[in-house]
Structure 1
Amino acid sequence: MAASIIFDDSLWPLLLSRFEGQVSDEAFEKYLLQGSLYLRRGEPYVSVLDTVRLSLPTVRQRQRQFEWLRQHEQPMRELLLGCAFIITSPLIRLTMSTVFHVMPMPTPYIAVQDMARAVTWATDRLRDAGHAEAAASILQRFHR
């Protein structure tokens, strides 16, 4: 399996990110840059991060995640209505908990076991924020 981070914004304002394998520091930097670009759109959205096939991030990647969260705390608080993490690995769950202990997420989040729960939670956040039509559209298109 080739290591990669794949973004899918075809269901915007739902952003799906899939992580596979041990991504390079260069690929991780591109991931952070793309995350910044989504925030710069200035549009509210929800995010689902699928880490089922992710290998443990490197120390450098965890440090960059801390820095990125600090730099983007305000726009995340304003625009990112919630993040659902799909996590099946206890080690990845522990790593996420450690990161968020040091630098708390500025937005609501949840860790779930599967895509269906993640999308349901994310669309609930959209609906609760007044975007019921977008939430319904995502659910309809997602379950085709």
Structure 2
Amino acid sequence: MGSPTSILVDDSLWPLLRVTFPRVVTNEQYTELLERRLSYLQRRERHVSLIDMRQLRSLTSEQREMQGAFLRQQEDLMRRWSMGIVTLINSPALALVIRLIVHRIKPSVVPYSVLTSWPAAVSWAADRLEADGLSEHARRVRQCLGSSCHEELG
């Protein structure tokens, strides 16, 4: 499978929400992602997000501002319905940008982690599900997103 050209959102392992970024994201695509993210929060169902930004080169200053505004505006929904967000990033510079965006809201409204390893990110997400009493979902995430399945999916 080639590199995606749009942001892929996958809820097939709900309550795990996977978001995979392409190398370059337009402001329009980012706006659509935030609208879609809001629709998941408005379901009023607890969930964990795994954000895969390994292919992404960078976010524009406008996209960083949109993300910060989204986090501030949706703080109550996120606190109530998000069990955590793990972001998978290869670029140290992009990891720093993401950490800065998240730290704009103090205290952080949900548990989050920025990691560079796929297995660590999957484990972190599954641990959050398990901590919320969703052991069967955590097992399914570990099983389905393990190294062999991940190569097929992502």
Match of 1:9 among 8, 11, 14: 11
Q: Does 1:37 align with 2:39?
A: yes
TM-score when normalising by structure 2: 0.87
Match of 1:34, SS state, is helix
Match of 2:118 among 115, 120, 124: 115
1:13-32 alignment to 2 at 5 Å? 13-32=15-34
Provide the C-alpha distance between the structure 1 equivalents of 2:4 and 2:96, rounded to a whole number of angstroms: 24
Q: Does 1:79 align with 2:81?
A: yes
Gaps of 5+ in 1: none
Provide the C-alpha distance between the structure 2 equivalents of 1:43 and 1:136, rounded to a whole number of angstroms: 19
Provide the C-alpha distance between the structure 1 equivalents of 2:77 and 2:57, rounded to a whole number of angstroms: 28
What is the match of residue 61 of structure 2? 59
Provide the C-alpha distance between the structure 2 equivalents of 1:2 and 1:8, rounded to a whole number of angstroms: 13
What is the match of residue 50 of structure 2? 48
Deviations 1:75-104 (A, max 9, x none): 111111011111110110111122123234
Assess if the C-alpha contact under 8 Å between 2:99 and 2:114 holds in 1: no
What is the match of residue 152 of structure 2? none
Gaps of 5+ in 2: 150-154
TM-score when normalising by structure 1: 0.93
| Structure 1 runs (4+) greater than 4 angstroms displaced | none
Assess if the C-alpha contact under 8 Å between 2:4 and 2:21 holds in 1: no
Counterpart amino acid of 1:116? P
Deviations 1:12-48 (A, max 9, x none): 1111111112211100000000100111111111111
When you count strand as a share of all residues, which structure comes out higher? 1
